[in-house]
Every structure is written in C-alpha cells, then in structure tokens.
Amino acid sequence: MGENPGRMHTLYGTRGSGSAAIEVALRACDLPYRLVRASSWEPDSAIEELARANPLRQIPTLVLPDGTVLSESAAILIHLGLAHPDGKLLPAKPSARAQAIRGLVFIAANCYAAISIIDYPARWTTASTRPAQERVRQGTRRRLHRNWEIFADTFAAQPYLSGAVPGALDYLAAVVSKWSGTRAYLAEHRPRFLKTLKLIEAQELVAPVFREHWDT
C-alpha cells in the first residue's frame, strides 16, 4: 500500500499525465490530497512507492484515506462522483448520469487505451523493426482520431459534456484529448467539439491545474 499521512487522499501521477483529471476532480469535491510524482518513465520519481499501491505502476493511482487503492481514471472519477455528489462530477439525473458514465468508459476504452500503443508500439507487436512498429503507431493514431470523432458526434455539449456545469466527463475529455495530435485533428474535423474542450479547460477550477501540467 502507498503511504497516506494525515488520512488524506494520495494521488500518484506526474506532469502532463492523466493525473490532471483526478486533480481537478479532487478539487471539485474539496478533498485534500497529497500529490506524489511517480511514473514508469521517470526513474527518479517515487516509482517503488507507486508499485506498492499498484503493481502495474500505472498513473493515475489514487489511495483513499482508509487505504483503499483505486486505479484507472474512469473508475476513480466514477467513484469520486458517487461518493461526493456535492462535487457535481456526475449529473444528478439518472439518464444524464448514465450517459456520463458511458462517456467516461468510452474514453478509457477507446481513446486512453490507444495512447499506450502509440507511445510504446514495441509492446504491442512481435515485429522488431522500427518501420513495422511505426506502422503500428500510425494505424493506432488514425484509429484514435476516428474514435474522437465518434465521441464528439455521440456526446453533445449542453454547453458542457456533463450538462449545465462541467463534470468528470469534461475533465477526462479535456485531458486525454491533449495527446497524440488529437487537438490538431479536431481543429480540422470537429471544430465545435474543440471549442467545447477549450471552454472546459478555461474554467476557474481547471485552468490552474492545466497550467501546472502543460504551461498553458
């Protein structure tokens, strides 16, 4: 288990990672947390502490005050939304909440998952040559961008993806769309959806976290 001094939440993550969405969510719920820099690509980070909490060494990983470990961004956001309804991470109306949960899992399964293949194509093919691995990367990026098109067409902003106020679905979409050329692709193919993402990241709760992660 990860250490958890002061009985607060402990969030393992790093700059420019999916932990940004969880940071925004924790702030929305007014939950104190300890942020621990940890990632598999930063050997000087608290990677072994992370490994004790999550053997896959994945970020974000969230340790609750009682020591319960949560991994997977969508699962963390759904839990926080259900456990802390005042944070408005999930819509109160059942039908809208169902769609928000659908959207969170859509991003996790169809967009977030593709990033690992794009970043580490050698893990996902027996081909050992760089040209072959690059084809895997390019094919996955093409599929990723198509999945974002489908997402944009399926989850309409009203004016946010979560409805009248931004919520967990907005925060995760704004973060995951930062990677693998997605924003540039959306600018050409789904400009209205890109405007929604920019509206989300300009929110008072979101903007400071994004500046810390991306200097924007």
Give percent of the chain above pLDDT 90. 92
Q: Which CATH architecture has domain 94-203?
A: Up-down Bundle (1.20)
Of 62-71, 95-104, 119-128, the range with the lowest mean pLDDT is 119-128
Picking from 65, 22, 13, 21, the residue whose alpha carbon sits closest to that of residue 40 is 13
Q: What angle do CA 47, 41, 194 make, to 5 degrees?
A: 115
Q: Tell me the pairing of strands 69-71 and 61-63.
A: antiparallel
Q: What are the residue ranges spanned by the domains of the chain?
A: 5-87, 94-203
Structure letter (DSSP) for residue 163? B
Joined together, the tokens standing for residue 67 give 């020591």
5-87 adopts what CATH topology? Glutaredoxin (3.40.30)
* Mean pLDDT of the region 84-95: 97
What is the pLDDT confidence band of residue 212, given thresholds at 50, 70 and 90? very high
Q: How many CB atoms lie within 10 A of CB 171?
A: 30
Burial of 105 per CB tally in 10 Å (0-12, 13-18, 19+): middle
Residue 145 above 90 pLDDT? yes
| Calpha distance 7→38 (Å, rounded) | 20
Length of the chain: 216
Residue 28 above 70 pLDDT? yes
Residue 102 above 50 pLDDT? yes
| Calpha distance 94→104 (Å, rounded) | 15
CA Rg value for the chain: 17
Picking from 98, 20, 14, the residue whose alpha carbon sits closest to that of residue 58 is 14
